[in-house]
Amino acid sequence: MNNGDTHVLVIEADPGDGDLIRQRLVEGDSAVRVSCVNRLAEGLESMAKELPSVVLLDLNLPDSPGVDPLHEVIEKAPGVPVVILLGQGEETQAMNALHDGAQDYLLKGDITSSDLERVMHGAIEKQALIRSLALGSYNVNTPAQRLRRLRTV
């Protein structure tokens, strides 16, 4: 990602998993700044102080039974991309989260530095595209569309 302004907020219930993710992020890119919290309330508080570039979110947080952490994060910071962190066997939950606004997901047991970098970069790019489309500033004139216009002249 090689951007000194990249701030990653990790909201992960298991401190061991949070530390492993932090380690993988730093291995992949020393310019990234990582904040780790263990509870949804701490993550929301952190976002109120400073919006991150991307949020890595565990959906099974100890302070959010009956609450959808993804919706809480999106409501607090609608322009910030969210990547879901899931355990093995939770792929159905991942599909639901993608439909509800998450940009991508990672399985905790398989996370590598390159996976984190690829998924976070993709999530940030997808969110930028969504923002551009919402603002009407995305240029939908593809080369094929321009060629078709030239042929009609």
What digits encode the pLDDT tens for the residues 18-34? 999 999 988 876 688 99
pLDDT (0 to 100) of residue 144: 59
Say if CB 8 and CB 52 are below 8 A apart: yes
pLDDT tens track for 85-101: 998 888 788 888 999 99
In a domain, 30, yes or no: yes
In a domain, 46, yes or no: yes
pLDDT (0 to 100) of residue 134: 76
Domain with 75 in it: what CATH number?
A: 3.40.50.2300
Structure tokens at 2: 């090689």
In a domain, 68, yes or no: yes
pLDDT tens track for 52-71: 999 999 998 999 876 789 99
Residue 50 has pLDDT above 90, yes or no: yes
Write out the residue range of the structural domain in which residue 110 sits.
7-152
The DSSP-derived string for the chain is ---TT-EEEEE-S-HHHHHHHHHHHHHH-TT-EEEEESSHHHHHHHHHH---SEEEEES--TT-TTS-HHHHHHHH-TTS-EEEEE-TT-HHHHHHHHHTT--EEEEGGG--HHHHHHHHHHHHHHHHHHHHHHHT------HHHHHHHHHH-
Task: Report pTM.
Answer: 0.83
pLDDT (0 to 100) of residue 139: 56
Average pLDDT along the chain: 85
In a domain, 2, yes or no: no
pLDDT (0 to 100) of residue 105: 94
Structure tokens at 124: 């940030």
Number of domains in the chain: 1
pLDDT (0 to 100) of residue 3: 47
